[in-house]
Structure 1
Amino acid sequence: MTANPADQLNAEFGSLPGLIASWGQFRGEADALFDGTITLSWREVADKVERIAARLQADGLQRGQAVAILGTTDVAYALVYLAAIRAGGCAAPLTTSASPDQLKGMAADSGAIHLFIDSAKLDELGDFSLGIANQIRLSDLDTFMAPAGTQAAPFDPAENDPLNIIYSSGTTGVPKGIVHSHGMRWRQMTFRAALNYGTDSRTICSTPLYSNTTMAVFLPTMYSGGCASLMGKFDVRKWLERAAGERCTHTMLVPVQYRRLMQYAHFDDYDLSSMKMKYCTSAPFPADLKAEVLERMPGGLIEIYGMTEGGVACIFPVHEHPDKLHTVGYPAPGHSLKVLDEDGNEVPPGTAGELVGKSPTMMLGYKNQPEKTREGYWTDPADGSTWQRMGDVGRLDADGFVELVGRTKDVIISGGFNVFPIDLEAELLKDERVTEAAVVGVPSDQWGETPVGFVVLKPGVGEAALEDIRTVANSRLGKTQRVSALHAIDEMPRSHIGKLLKTELRELVVPS
């Protein structure tokens, strides 16, 4: 009898490609991937992953080299992701909402010699080239892969081999490539798989596969031999129909998706009793929304606070602590958190400060950007250990729960994605009718937060020009970055030392 691959999850380190092959033998005809149209069994997934990997190796893919993927989440996308890792390379999913120039920069940064792209993105790019010679349509995957029965050359991953590159969204210029190792992912995903997943898990994934948010549930489902049910685009009614109809057991949703579900008039008409565990990450999860989800959606609810880069991860089993809904939980086992004042000294519970963390799940670094990698670290003067700056201000309560107070930078989280105001401000300032520009995030029922801009117009330029200024700037920005509204003001509010007071700007549209 074939050994149960779940036993491998107890090892301190192991091989994801090895697990995929083992589940292919052990699970056979059981569902592994489904995207609403195509269903693949574990046997089929293991076979196709081998054949795609064999072709990648034949094309010259080197150990650790990236394979770029650009398109809507579906079965073909997932197969390429897994095959890139099986071949000894690493998966490099590109952010579909990025601008063409950002995509070209990401493609070059990744070092990929293969780009797998779907037809919709090809049509959108038109004649614009991302500069990768081997461009394969995802719809042509069956003709690309090696013949049936072909086995890829063996690949035995080392802990520091790269497994994937996750490109951050909304950064200035080309997004930074966050490199995760096989060791990091093994520790991260086997911990989650052992806790809440199994061969009976069916996870509905309705956020993009290029996002680490999705990886937080897609990968442990694959590690544990379950089935990932993939949605190309989130739609409330379709999500409910699939979650109920397929008897899904797990899901990951960002707060704005939970809000849309709760606001849907027919939500209570759907039977979600099969749901065992729901997850939330990527954006602030309001306490009132947590309470409503707990009350109306079956199964447990776990909030995950952390960074794609690593550092500390806080795990909050919301269903176990209904009195702590204003927090993001407590550090996961093996994770450490410090709260620092402006001088780098640790502060006592109840005092707010900068959050820094360390854990066994830290990134290898930003690809090709060692200086940026170092800037994200804090070194403990007591022992020289390296900690990740979490980018947030927070405090610990007496029970060790973490409460977020604000962000060290004015990042806007819209629809679960980071949007940096400086990018939007730069585009607004390119307009010759604008002398000053500032962008802030304001609450949005649809997106969680949305960017709102303020400009000081040049003399003689009337407010009638605002809509055209906004449209022109948005045409140069990625889909998740676009300014939702633009206001003209006489002068920017500033402190006595000239610091722009964004709090006052925000209060112009969201009174305190």
Structure 2
Amino acid sequence: MSSGIADLLRASAARAPESPVVTGDGRPLTYGELDARSSRAAAALAELPPGSRVGYVDRNATEYFELLFGAAKAGVVLVPLNFRLAPDEMRWILDDADVSLVVAGTDHVPLLDGLSVPLIAVGDAYEDWLAAHPPADPRRDAAGDDLVVLMYSSGTTGRPKGVHVTAAGLAAAVDLFGAAFKLGPDTVSLVPIPYYHIAGAGWALITVAEGGTLVQCREPTPQSMLAQLVDFRVTHTAMVPAVIQIMTDLPAAATADFSRLQQIVYGASPISESLLSRAVALFGAEFFQSYGLTETIGVTTLLGPDQHIPGNPVKGRLRSAGRAVPGMEVAVADLETGEPAEPGVVGEVIVRGPCVTTGYWRNPAETDAAFLPGGWLRTGDAGSLDADGYLYLHDRIKDMIVSGGENVYPAEVESALAGHPAVQECAVIGVPSPRWGETPLAYVVLRPGAETAGEELLAWTRDRLAHYKCPTQVVFTGLLPRNPSGKILKRELRRPWWEEAGRGIG
């Protein structure tokens, strides 16, 4: 197992200092250059006490890696912020983390006006800061349960929480997750996910661990990602099913050369059988589904290529999030008793293993609430395991709809709706019902050029689900509200319905 993330860079730089580590959008770097520049950053950051926090606010950029590895070498903690946050939200996180320094892209500097700590703008000021310090690695690495990154959760239900990412946990995540993929020095990874997100940061780190090349996306769109897949002859990438769907519909994709593409990892939702068939035919690559949380450093389960075969004889397996990554444990706890649930019974998904966070920053109450005896982390996700250990996610527990005494999990309804050829994406919520307490309602975004009626979609779900699970209404919309991390804000969809009813639950 790797002893720390600074060692990942040191080892790759020693093996092949002239090999490219960052290309694509932004400033390109070789491993030797990244090692030297991150050592300059480390020499500067080592002037701070060990464990100090350093904020970073920008889109995906080369400076992120210089600071990440610099902080790791200096024994300080990087706090990457979501660049889409409002100024007040950014300041709240920076205050909560008690940062000593902030590095920000030029577009974000005006948003941080009035900070009480030094602010270094990317560009001339940042270059001067690096140049003022020697490329001397202080080797003051964090170890064990020492923090290396403080990664704030997206806060769908309130203020975000700072998730502890420790030296040991991150090293374990790189080893366990990286072992599942065919990575090496010839790997070219497209990284469209923001680095403030554990999926983007983790995907980048497993590539660096193997000495591969990162193709950086600063403002990813399906069109720009398609161009980069081809232009840089990408071998590995990660994306969400909604992007895969849009990409498969792009006219340019039909004649693009994907001959180097080997593996695609997706997450956030299952992939439909029809989309999988189109994507496999287009890309010719192996597909993986990944499920994880910031609190598990992104590593929990994988659904491998053997389950991504169109027409798979194991009915419904494509709806699974896969099985626990070797080294991790996944179980389901009964919602009432907390005892282990039987196969097929829905409960709360709980996780245990070396990648699980040690807790939340300066928040002992939330930390205590997050763990069960035995070191099991409560994910807040409702799910079930089958007899073979495959995990099926039903929904966030807080999003569960109780209709006439029956539990309805919106994700199950959304999965059924997503199989309709006219549906691009959807969100199912509970709305007031005088008879049942609440009933499911579906917000639907149609694919470009597609047409269908609400009654047709309702009939589609009735053919595939128990009737009590089916929506009673369909609302067509052009856009679903999302938080800065891209998660659909169902509370925003629910609010007008429940405010009108004068209550908050069924």
With structure 1 as the length reference, what TM-score do the two structures score?
0.76
Q: How big is the shift at 1:267? A: 1.5
In structure 2, the CA distance between the partners of 1:152 and 1:285, relative to structure 1 (3 Å rule), is same
Output the CA distance in 1 between the equivalents of 2:49 and 2:277: 49
Who is 1:158 aligned against?
143
On the 8 A contact 1:13/1:159 being kept in 2, the answer is no
Who is 1:277 aligned against?
263
Please list the CA deviations of residues 186-221 of structure 1 after superposition, one character each: whole Å capped at 9, or x if unmatched.
111022334422111111111111011202311101
Code of the residue aligned with 2:249 in structure 1: it is: Q
Please list the CA deviations of residues 246-305 of structure 1 after superposition, one character each: whole Å capped at 9, or x if unmatched.
111111112222222123232222111211211112345445434433332222111111
Output the CA distance in 2 between the equivalents of 1:195 and 1:229: 20
| Equivalent position SS for 1:203 | strand
Q: How big is the shift at 1:150? A: 3.0
On the 8 A contact 1:213/1:282 being kept in 2, the answer is no
In structure 2, the CA distance between the partners of 1:362 and 1:489, relative to structure 1 (3 Å rule), is closer
Aligned CA-pair RMSD? 3.3
Who is 1:357 aligned against?
351
Code of the residue aligned with 1:170 in structure 2: it is: G
Who is 2:225 aligned against?
239
In structure 2, the CA distance between the partners of 1:64 and 1:444, relative to structure 1 (3 Å rule), is farther
Would you say 1:309 and 2:302 are equivalent positions?
no
Output the CA distance in 1 between the equivalents of 2:235 and 2:485: 31
On the 8 A contact 1:68/1:92 being kept in 2, the answer is yes
Who is 2:283 aligned against?
297
In structure 2, the CA distance between the partners of 1:79 and 1:443, relative to structure 1 (3 Å rule), is farther
| Equivalent position SS for 1:346 | coil
Code of the residue aligned with 2:355 in structure 1: it is: T
Greater CA drift, 146-155 or 26-35: 146-155
Output the CA distance in 1 between the equivalents of 2:268 and 2:121: 30
Output the CA distance in 1 between the equivalents of 2:339 and 2:282: 43
In the TM superposition, 1:438-453 aligns within 5 A as 442-444=443-445
Who is 1:368 aligned against?
362
In structure 2, the CA distance between the partners of 1:176 and 1:410, relative to structure 1 (3 Å rule), is same
On the 8 A contact 2:303/2:321 being kept in 1, the answer is yes
Aligned residues: 430
Would you say 1:252 and 2:241 are equivalent positions?
no
Who is 2:454 aligned against?
none
Output the CA distance in 1 between the equivalents of 2:494 and 2:323: 39
Structure 2: runs of 5+ lacking an equivalent: 401-409, 415-426, 430-439, 448-480
| Equivalent position SS for 2:108 | helix
In the TM superposition, 1:200-239 aligns within 5 A as 200-239=186-225
Would you say 1:93 and 2:80 are equivalent positions?
yes
Output the CA distance in 2 between the equivalents of 1:378 and 1:66: 29
Who is 1:108 aligned against?
95
Q: How big is the shift at 1:482? A: 7.4
Who is 1:329 aligned against?
322
Would you say 1:32 and 2:18 are equivalent positions?
no
Q: How big is the shift at 1:43? A: 0.9
Output the CA distance in 2 between the equivalents of 1:489 and 1:153: 57
| Equivalent position SS for 1:53 | helix
| Equivalent position SS for 1:366 | coil
Output the CA distance in 2 between the equivalents of 1:219 and 1:320: 26
Please list the CA deviations of residues 51-90 of structure 1 after superposition, one character each: whole Å capped at 9, or x if unmatched.
11111223xx222222110011111222222212221112
In structure 2, the CA distance between the partners of 1:20 and 1:488, relative to structure 1 (3 Å rule), is closer
On the 8 A contact 1:77/1:138 being kept in 2, the answer is no
| Equivalent position SS for 2:362 | coil
In structure 2, the CA distance between the partners of 1:372 and 1:389, relative to structure 1 (3 Å rule), is same
Would you say 1:55 and 2:44 are equivalent positions?
yes
Please list the CA deviations of residues 2-54 of structure 1 after superposition, one character each: whole Å capped at 9, or x if unmatched.
xxxxxxxxxx3413212312322221211011242421111111110001111
| Equivalent position SS for 1:133 | coil
Q: How big is the shift at 1:369? A: 0.8
Would you say 1:43 and 2:32 are equivalent positions?
yes
Same amino acid, percent of matched pairs: 22
On the 8 A contact 1:117/1:136 being kept in 2, the answer is yes
2:152 to 131, 154, 167: 167
Output the CA distance in 2 between the equivalents of 1:29 and 1:85: 22
In structure 2, the CA distance between the partners of 1:486 and 1:396, relative to structure 1 (3 Å rule), is closer
| Equivalent position SS for 2:6 | helix
Output the CA distance in 2 between the equivalents of 1:352 and 1:100: 40
In structure 2, the CA distance between the partners of 1:91 and 1:490, relative to structure 1 (3 Å rule), is closer
On the 8 A contact 2:72/2:141 being kept in 1, the answer is no
Who is 1:83 aligned against?
70
Output the CA distance in 2 between the equivalents of 1:489 and 1:185: 42
Who is 1:189 aligned against?
174
Who is 1:427 aligned against?
none
Output the CA distance in 1 between the equivalents of 2:74 and 2:272: 42
On the 8 A contact 1:98/1:479 being kept in 2, the answer is no
In structure 2, the CA distance between the partners of 1:177 and 1:288, relative to structure 1 (3 Å rule), is farther
Who is 1:348 aligned against?
342
Output the CA distance in 1 between the equivalents of 2:211 and 2:80: 23
Output the CA distance in 2 between the equivalents of 1:300 and 1:479: 26
Please list the CA deviations of residues 403-459 of structure 1 after superposition, one character each: whole Å capped at 9, or x if unmatched.
122220229999xxxx9x9xxxxxxxxxxxxxxxxx99845468xxxxxxxxxxxxx
Code of the residue aligned with 1:17 in structure 2: it is: A
With structure 2 as the length reference, what TM-score do the two structures score?
0.77
1:133 to 95, 99, 117: 117
